[in-house]
Amino acid sequence: MPKVTFIEHNGTAHTVEAANGESLMRAAVDNNVPGIDGDCGGECACATCHVYVEADWWEKVGGRTETEETMLSFAAATKDNSRLCCQIMMSDALDGIVVHTPDGQH
Amino acid sequence: MTSVVVVGAGHAAIQLAASLRQGRFDGPITLIADEAGLPYQRPPLSKAFLAGHMDEPALALRPANFYAAQNVTVVENDPASAIDRAGHAVVTASGARIGYGHLVLATGAANRALPVPGADLPGVVGLRSLAEARGMKAILGDLKRVVVIGAGFIGLEFAAVAAERGIAVTLIEAAPRPLMRGVSAVMSDYLAAAHRGWGTRLLTGTGVSAIIGTTRAEGVELSTGEIVPADLVLVAIGVVPNTGLAAAAGLEVGNGIVVDSLLATADPAISAMGDCAAFPMEGQGRIRLESVQNASDQARCLADRLLGKPAAYAKLPWFWSDQGALKLQIAGLSGGHDRTILRGDPASGAFSVFCYQGERLLAVESLNRAPDHMAARRFLAGAAAVTPEQAADPMFDLRTAN
Ligand SMILES: Cc1cc2nc3c(=O)[nH]c(=O)nc-3n(C[C@H](O)[C@H](O)[C@H](O)COP(=O)(O)OP(=O)(O)OC[C@H]3O[C@@H](n4cnc5c(N)ncnc54)[C@H](O)[C@@H]3O)c2cc1C
């Protein structure tokens, strides 16, 4: 299975597997990765799965969806490489992707 | 603290276990469940699951391997029957004795029973557990006429799914309008009109005097004397918190298990959280909330205390409900508002209602307007402020409020 690495604000890295087609949010929650809440269950309605995508992967993850864009504009500490990871679906092309979690989701 | 035992394995319990492990708690964690199978999410039961857009495996709060990986024990299908406070142990129905360092009551709530003759007939059902939802889903295709008693969130969500399936729905509400205590009159009226538009016969200000039928429910007799025929009757008149276990153990209960702002009961070794807990909230007195947000945030708050970082619980309440294509999101508690400001045009199918008490914003109800909801959560959490004039101005960008 493809792997994704989440790096916490404090530097701790968590590498977990995610099935193709599964969102990175789901993979984080299922594996109890700290720093990703996913309170709305993947509906792109809460902005509690905010991550920063590492530069090498930014092109590969594709663009933000329109709803995601709006939701992110209300999230705290957004940057140019911010995404809501419930909207990033795992694929072989993303095997090895690295994302960072913000200081807090609320 | 040596070990944590949780009674209940719902939204709050699973979040507590997850947060304790994230916080490096390495003692035993045991969740005592009264159901068999993987702990599951309830919101989809009256929405995507019933409508057939989500299957059963997707309902699981966490996958099966989570429990082994995180070293969390779930005692399935063996309800807690007593608490031995002096001995720091829970006794289960099967007679097992499970010792605790700290005990957390996360027992949720149960469907309120309808106090009329015939309410115990087969064909009169509730919608709270997976078993009930499964049963409902299995027969949905055969139903021609249903009566839903209670126009609360669950009654409305079910009515929307049933109407979409072409079932003739009669929705009976004792109060003058749906969601009387939950939402503003503007939102309530909009939802009432939407349901009527989907073909549902909504009767407000109407009581139920009996369920008619000999071997199973065949109809509902209204306070007006009318008998509405039904293949199935859904009773959705609210819930009562599961406080029996706590009360029998001598803990204080009222409308819920009484806890302080740290979610602690009077017994320092016992806490309560989620749907079953009555907790103090600034400006509200002692309240009890039924929402995923409340269950999850209280679990995180309690986990922090058990990890040695106590803080009073003070999270902003928020809630959502999907009815057909309508996505309602509510931030804050609207009780006591004296005026409402409309943002957006209800006729467009996307608008928000800002509920104010004087100049103070109490709550925002957004329909198909998630960005307003996100902004509202910032305002209500005190991160920014919006005046009634700004809220009403469609040209005002909520993101620029400060
Ligand atoms: C159909 C439906 C739709 C909903 N939709 C929404 C929604 O859209 N948005 C939203 O925010 N909220 C929604 N809710 C509410 C939300 O699901 C609850 O607020 C949430 O589940 C509360 O979590 P909890 O852990 O406190 O209780 P629960 O998730 O109810 O879990 C408590 C568990 O404890 C068990 N239990 C009780 N007594 C014992 C005992 N003695 N021993 C062992 N186990 C015991 C119960 O059976 C239950 O399984 C909905 C609820 C239902 C039923």
ipTM of predicted assembly, 2 dp: 0.91
Q: Residues of chain B with pLDDT > 70: what percent?
A: 100
Residues B121 and B197 in one domain: yes
Residue B54 lies in a domain: yes
| Cβ atoms of residues B294 and B284 within 8 Å | no
CATH number, domain containing residue B346:
3.30.390.30
* Cβ neighbour number for residue B300 with a 10 Å cutoff: 20
Domain-ending residue, one of B211, B235, B259: B235
Predicted local distance difference test score (pLDDT) of residue B33 = 98
- Read off the pLDDT of each residue in A55-77 and give the average, rounded to a whole number: 90
* Residues B348-372 pLDDT 10s: 999 999 999 999 999 999 999 988 9
In B255-323, the DSSP E strands lie at 256-258, 270-272, 277-281, 285-287, 318-323
Residue B208 lies in a domain: yes
More confident call, B383 vs B256: B256
- A83 phi, psi to nearest 5 deg: -140, 160
How many domains are there within chain B?
A: 3
The DSSP annotation for A19-67 comes to: -TT-BHHHHHHHTT-TT---TTSSSS-S--SEEEE-HHHHTTT-PPPHH
A32/B374 Cβ within 8 A? no
Residue B320 lies in a domain: no
Residue B313 lies in a domain: no
Residues B176 and B256 in one domain: no
* Residues B172-191 pLDDT 10s: 999 999 999 899 999 999 99
Judge if pTM exceeds 0.90: yes
Residues B356 and B298 in one domain: no
Domain-ending residue, one of B235, B265, B291: B235
B371/A39 Cβ within 8 A? no
Residues B11 and B92 in one domain: yes
Residues B219 and B251 in one domain: no
Q: How far apart are CA B236 and CA B126, in angstroms?
A: 6
CA-closest residue to ligand 1 atom 37: B107
Residues B135 and B178 in one domain: yes
| Cβ atoms of residues A78 and A50 within 8 Å | yes
Residues B80 and B168 in one domain: no
Residue B314 lies in a domain: no
Burial of B215 (0-12, 13-18, 19+ CB in 10 A): exposed
Residue B312 lies in a domain: no
Query: Which range of residues forms the domain containing residue B331?
Result: 325-400
Asked if B387 reaches chain A (Cβ–Cβ under 8 Å), the answer is: no
Residues B197 and B59 in one domain: no
CATH number, domain containing residue B14:
3.50.50.60
A45/B327 Cβ within 8 A? yes
Residues B172 and B216 in one domain: yes
Residue B396 lies in a domain: yes
| Cβ atoms of residues B328 and B365 within 8 Å | yes
Residues B246 and B102 in one domain: yes
Residues B24 and B86 in one domain: yes
H helix count then E strand count, chain B: 10, 27
Q: How far apart are CA B304 and CA B120, in angstroms?
A: 44
Domain-ending residue, one of B196, B212, B235: B235
Residues B106 and B126 in one domain: no
Residues in chain B closer than 8 A to A29 (CB atoms): 62
Confidence of residue A106 (pLDDT cuts 50, 70, 90): low
Task: Search chain B and give the residue with CA nearest A39.
Answer: B293
Task: Search chain A and give the residue with CA nearest B401.
Answer: A74
Q: Is the dihedral of CA B169, B172, B175, B179 positive or negative?
A: negative
Q: Which two tokens stand for residue B305?
A: 């205390």
